[in-house]
């Protein structure tokens, strides 16, 4: 175990500054190896689509089409970078805020929003996309990622499981148990903390006094890595390395992506009560989409035609989402009883019959 | 009974490489009750192993394993030690099939030694079945015989839904002459353990033996009591229960959990609704008191015994009394 080495834990410590490959103004950090042009252009496309999806979903809440939408505006690079660093056969365990991650995974936008539209809980097939249902109770999906990785390893598959958690979720017991299990069993798991600075209204200073969330890794005997969560290139690189380690039998990694939630927690939240406008403005100037766009344009990897084509694709995505989401019908009431057990119990069959009779009377 | 459960686990491990047995102290030690004795040695430390001491982690890991094609069987060391895993059980184990519209099922078994009567100090004797039975999506079974301990556990591991497998710890050392595997009824079926005509005693888990002893003692009073072993709390075999009570016209439900909002209450309500015109007396419940499980020197006051069952039977308004 790494923690038994000569200088216990030191080699596991994250760097003092988050790993950054592209500065906020789009210039490349000197002497750093960036992901290749194909990867970066794919990330740019996913960022633009993700941003547009976020805007559309937020608008749909205002129109009363969605019950709620926890926006990841500002965090897109973290979600996009984490997903694109994995293989499609690797599993992701997203939370309710990780819709952009699911979109990047190729999940149908309407299926992503099934939960928030209030029709059913999980709208997509987890096995098709290798994506677990979006998890609401904090950190509880992290042990699932551990178990999935355990099973993959038992079958000699080189699947990696990545668990998304927020800064608030790092205070939960399941976060601790999942990291500890993954380390003890030496499993191919990447724990990806999106530190967006607030758990609803509680700032990170009230969540932990550790130097960073990535520092927590040392206590579990796994490496912790701090990364600039608004730099898609850096996230791609850092998560890519963590996934490689996992795949090659080197065990789990804890990655903390330092980012910021530009919008409120949800539409039910008033973020002006707990954070100053200047703070938000400061983070707006570190926008992940503008940053990658500037880098790609300045380095001649992106021209106006490609940019326009991606923008048009994003508009199509939003228009299609509007049309189909509004047209979508809720599932038949009978389904309430269909998926509780593999076969409905007599009690459930009786209750289904009651509901059918009630519907006929009306 | 302990040996029957051990045998069931061994047979599952031998027959299906998707089965994994894990929890606290289940490996080298063989479990605090020695239920997993010898399994790690025989099937290897990858198939039967110790985990860090963390119940939520144990159950949560089992969820991920079941999602990925395995059939985990986890041990909660004692009934009340399962409470840290309660969120995993209620929010994920029970709901995964439903959340995913039938796409992701979780074939897994959570074994928990449950109930009192062994002189355990606090947190070692809870009857927590009502929490699980109240949660849609969970299958809840409790064996009362050696044959059922084997048969129900084999059925639970093969079951496509998550099963809470409640092992009456005071029956661990009970002995029966039985060659395993003995034929048993499937999950979802109650069994008449003793036929009778005057009243029905409904029980499950450790209380079945109490009910059988009470039925035996009742012969001296001239009462011929039927004993129905529920076996499967969810799904509940309403048909067998109702048929018995319609035949006898009287019923006492026996269980050692606190009676308020309990499985016993549910069964009593069900029998009142469905057997009302066949009943000669109100359905009675004989349960533990509505108190936290008492200290060992006081637990005999709390646990329903033969006397308390017979006292309840005596109040069933016999026409010739």
Considering CB atoms only, which of A133, A149, A177 is closest to B60?
A: A177
Place of tokens 């469905």: B274
Nearest CA to CA, how far is A353 from chain B (Å)? 17
Contact A181 B235 (CB under 8 A): no
B6's CB contacts (< 8 A; 6+ apart) are B34, B35, B36, B37, B38, B39
Nearest CA in chain A to B52: A181
Whether A10 has a pLDDT exceeding 90, the answer reads: no
Residues 59-78 of B with CB under 8 A from A: 59-70, 72
Nearest CA in chain B to A92: B64
* C-alpha dihedral sign at B173, B176, B182, B183: negative
Nearest CA to CA, how far is B117 from chain A (Å)? 32
Contact B61 A339 (CB under 8 A): no
**ipTM at complex level:** 0.95
Q: Which residues of A touch B236 (CB under 8 A)?
A: 345, 347
Contact B52 A120 (CB under 8 A): no
Between A56 and A268, the more confident residue is: A56
Say whether residue B98 is in contact with chain A using an 8 A CB cutoff.
yes
CA distance A153 to B20: 13
Contact A140 B88 (CB under 8 A): yes
User: pLDDT tens digits for B198-252?
Assistant: 999 999 999 999 999 999 999 999 999 999 999 999 999 999 999 999 999 999 9
A321's CB contacts (< 8 A; 6+ apart) are A53, A56, A57, A60, A109, A110, A113
What mean pLDDT is predicted for residues A158-184?
A: 98
User: pLDDT tens digits for B16-30?
Assistant: 999 999 999 999 999
User: pLDDT tens digits for B115-149?
Assistant: 999 999 999 999 999 999 999 999 999 999 999 99
Whether A293 has a pLDDT exceeding 60, the answer reads: yes
CA distance A255 to A225: 5
What mean pLDDT is predicted for residues A336-345?
A: 97
Considering CB atoms only, which of A148, A173, A331 is closest to B68?
A: A148
Contact B57 A133 (CB under 8 A): no
Quote the distance between the C-alpha of residue A29 and its chain's center.
Answer: 25
Q: Which residues of A touch B239 (CB under 8 A)?
A: 346
- Tell me, letter by letter, the H, E, C secondary structure of chain A: CHHHCCCCCHHHCCCCCCECCECCCCCECCCCCCCCHHHHHHHHHHHHHHHHHHHHHHHHHHCCCCCCCCCCCCCHHHHHHHHHCCCCCCEEECECCCHHHHHHHCCCHHHHCHHHHCCCCCCCCHHHHCECCCECCCCCCHHHHHHHHHHHHHCCCCCCEEEEEECHHHHCHHHHHHHHHHHHCCCCEEEEEEECCEECCEEHHHCCCCCCCCCHHHHHCCCEEEEECCCHHHHHHHHHHHHHHHHCCCCCEEEEEECCCCCCCCCCCCHHHCCCHHHHHHHHCCCHHHHHHHHHHHCCCCCHHHHHHHHHHHHHHHHHHHHHHHHCCCCCHHHHHCCCCCCCCHHHHHHHHHHHHHHHHC
Size of the A and B interface in Cβ pairs below 8 Å: 139
How do strand B232-234 and strand B139-141 relate by DSSP bridges?
A: antiparallel
B92 carries an active-site annotation: no
Residue burial B105-134, b: 16+ Cβ < 10 Å; e: rest: bbbbbbbbbbbbbbebeeebbbbbbbbbbe
Say whether residue A177 is in contact with chain B using an 8 A CB cutoff.
yes
Residues 241-280 of B with CB under 8 A from A: none
* C-alpha dihedral sign at B166, B172, B175, B177: positive
Considering CB atoms only, which of B63, B88, B104 is closest to A126?
A: B104
pLDDT at res. A9: 79
| Residues A224 and A216 sit within 8 Å (Cβ to Cβ) | yes
User: pLDDT tens digits for A214-266?
Assistant: 999 999 999 999 999 999 999 999 999 999 999 999 999 999 999 999 999 99
Q: Which of B124, B134, B301, B302 is catalytic?
A: B124
- Split at pLDDT 50, 70, 90, the class of A329 is confident
Q: Which residues of B touch A341 (CB under 8 A)?
A: 97, 137, 139, 161, 235
pLDDT at res. A2: 46
φ and ψ at residue B117, rounded to 5 degrees = 90, 10
| Residues A23 and A32 sit within 8 Å (Cβ to Cβ) | no
Residues 341-360 of A with CB under 8 A from B: 341-342, 345-347
Contact A137 B91 (CB under 8 A): yes
Contact B101 A122 (CB under 8 A): yes
What mean pLDDT is predicted for residues A131-155?
A: 98
CA distance B34 to B40: 12
């Amino acid at each position: 175990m790494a923690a038994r080495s000569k200088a216990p834990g030191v080699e596991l410590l994250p760097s003092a500054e988050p790993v950054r490959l592209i500065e906020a103004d789009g210039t490349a950090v000197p002497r750093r190896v960036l992901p290749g042009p194909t990867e970066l252009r794919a990330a740019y496309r996913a960022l633009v689509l993700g941003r547009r999806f976020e805007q559309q979903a937020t608008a749909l809440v205002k129109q009363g089409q969605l019950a709620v939408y926890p926006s990841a505006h500002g965090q897109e690079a973290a979600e996009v970078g984490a997903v694109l660093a994995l293989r499609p056969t690797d599993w992701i365990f997203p939370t309710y805020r990780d819709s952009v991650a699911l979109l990047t995974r190729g999940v149908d936008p309407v299926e992503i929003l099934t939960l928030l539209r209030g029709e059913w809980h999980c709208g997509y097939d987890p096995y098709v996309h290798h994506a677990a249902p979006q998890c609401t109770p904090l950190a509880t999906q992290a042990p699932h990622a551990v178990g999935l990785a355990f099973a993959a390893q038992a079958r000699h598959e080189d699947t990696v499981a990545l668990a998304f958690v927020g800064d608030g979720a790092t205070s939960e017991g399941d976060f601790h148990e999942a990291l500890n299990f993954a380390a003890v069993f030496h499993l191919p798991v990447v724990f990806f903390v999106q530190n967006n600075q607030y758990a609803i209204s509680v700032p990170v200073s009230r969540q932990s006094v550790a130097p960073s969330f990535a520092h927590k890794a040392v206590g579990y005997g796994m490496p912790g890595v701090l990364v600039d969560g608004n730099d898609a290139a850096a996230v791609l690189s850092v998560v890519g390395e963590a996934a490689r380690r996992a795949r090659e039998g080197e065990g789990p990694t804890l990655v903390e992506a330092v980012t910021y939630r530009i919008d409120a927690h949800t539409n039910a939240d008033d973020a002006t009560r707990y954070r100053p406008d200047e703070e938000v403005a400061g983070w707006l100037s570190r926008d992940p989409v503008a940053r990658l766009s500037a880098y790609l344009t300045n380095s001649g990897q992106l021209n106006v035609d490609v940019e326009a084509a991606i923008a048009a694709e994003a508009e199509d995505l939003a228009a299609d989402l509007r049309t189909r989401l509004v047209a979508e019908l809720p599932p038949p009431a009978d389904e309430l009883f269909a998926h509780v057990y593999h076969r409905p119990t007599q009690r459930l069959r009786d209750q289904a019959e009651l509901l059918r009779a009630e519907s006929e009377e009306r | 009974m302990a040996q029957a459960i051990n045998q069931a686990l061994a047979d599952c491990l031998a027959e299906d490489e998707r089965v994994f047995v894990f929890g606290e102290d289940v490996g080298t030690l063989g479990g605090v009750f020695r239920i997993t004795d010898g399994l790690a040695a025989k099937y290897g430390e990858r198939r039967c192993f110790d985990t860090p001491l963390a119940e939520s982690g144990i159950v949560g890991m089992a969820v991920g394993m079941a999602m990925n094609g395995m059939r985990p069987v986890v041990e909660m060391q004692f009934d009340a030690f399962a409470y840290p895993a309660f969120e995993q059980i209620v929010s994920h184990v029970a709901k995964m099939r439903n959340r995913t519209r039938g796409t992701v099922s979780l074939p897994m078994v959570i074994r928990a030694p449950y109930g009192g009567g062994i002189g355990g100090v606090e947190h070692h004797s809870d009857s927590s079945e009502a929490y699980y039975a109240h949660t849609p999506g969970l299958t809840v079974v409790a064996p009362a015989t050696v044959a059922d301990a084997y048969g129900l556990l084999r059925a639970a591991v093969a079951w496509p839904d998550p099963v809470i497998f409640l092992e009456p710890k005071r029956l661990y050392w009970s002995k029966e002459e039985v060659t395993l595997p003995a034929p048993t009824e499937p999950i979802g079926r109650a069994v008449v353990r003793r036929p009778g005509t005057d009243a029905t005693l409904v029980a499950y888990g450790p209380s079945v033996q109490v009910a059988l002893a009470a039925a035996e003692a009742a012969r001296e009073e001239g009462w011929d009591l039927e004993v129905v072993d529920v076996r499967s709390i969810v799904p509940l075999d309403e048909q067998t229960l109702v048929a018995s009570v319609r035949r006898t016209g009287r019923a006492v439900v026996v269980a050692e959990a606190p009676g308020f909002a309990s499985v016993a209450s549910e069964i009593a309500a069900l029998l009142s609704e469905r057997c009302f015109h066949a009943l000669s007396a109100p359905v009675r419940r004989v349960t533990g008191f509505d108190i936290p499980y008492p200290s060992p020197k006081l637990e005999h006051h709390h646990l329903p015994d033969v006397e308390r069952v017979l006292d309840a039977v005596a109040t069933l308004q016999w026409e010739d009394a």
